[in-house]
Structure 1
């Protein structure tokens, strides 16, 4: 049995960094909509850094579980995983949208 709250900080890190990546991605999309592609690229780089932080934390938790260190399975953990998955999907889609804006601008 895992003591309650054992992985709580890591779970909140996933939520925080995933949310940061998602917010930055939308900020980059706004910059692209305004034609500022340099700014959009800089912001997307920051979004990628946030995403990597979330992913590193998730990987640590997975490794803990694989090494027989119990990881709390809770509604909060499910929320964190859902939050991260959504952030990844939205970031990937926004990257493609920015590429589309660049193509439209070039015409």
Structure 2
């Protein structure tokens, strides 16, 4: 694995983790009826996911160009981390929406 590939994988893990953390913070803010903070945290989660996708796209582009990467447990972990964070972020948006609707009643 090259240094560039390792950096991309670590970017995937780091940004995916940040996205998930921000999504969790959005839910916690919504529980406290702080919907402005929840909205901010969801936006930050989306930004982190965009950065993670950039890292993933870089790896996919290199592979499409013939620069094969050895699949390691770390590479698999990074993809798992990304997919889990995307799912969690989608769910967090729904949870925040439910809290908002309950607060509006």
For Structure 1 versus Structure 2, the TM-score category normalised by the shorter chain is over 0.9
CA offset at residue 5 of structure 1? 4.2
Select which of 87, 97, 100 maps to 1:99.
Answer: 97
Matched, 1:15 2:17: no
Q: CA RMSD in A?
A: 0.9
- Residue deviations 1:47-91 (CA, integer Å, cap 9, x gap): 111110001110110111011112231100000000110000000
1:27–1:43: 8 Å Cα contact kept in structure 2?
yes
User: Of the candidates 78, 84, 97, which is equivalent to residue 86 of structure 1?
Assistant: 84
Structure 2 unaligned segments of length 5 or more: list them: none
Question: Following the alignment from structure 1 to structure 2, what is the Cα–Cα distance between the partners of residues 87 and 103?
Answer: 24
How many angstroms apart in 2 are the aligned matches of 1:88 and 1:95? Answer: 11
Partner residue in 1 for 2:72: 74
2:55, 2:44 → 1: CA distance? 17
Consecutive unaligned residues in structure 1, runs of 5 or more: none
Counterpart position of 2:40: 42
Q: In the alignment, is the contact (CA less than 8 A) between 1:5 and 1:72 conserved in 2?
A: no
1:51 matched to 2:49: yes
Q: Find the counterpart in structure 2 of residue 65 from structure 1.
A: 63
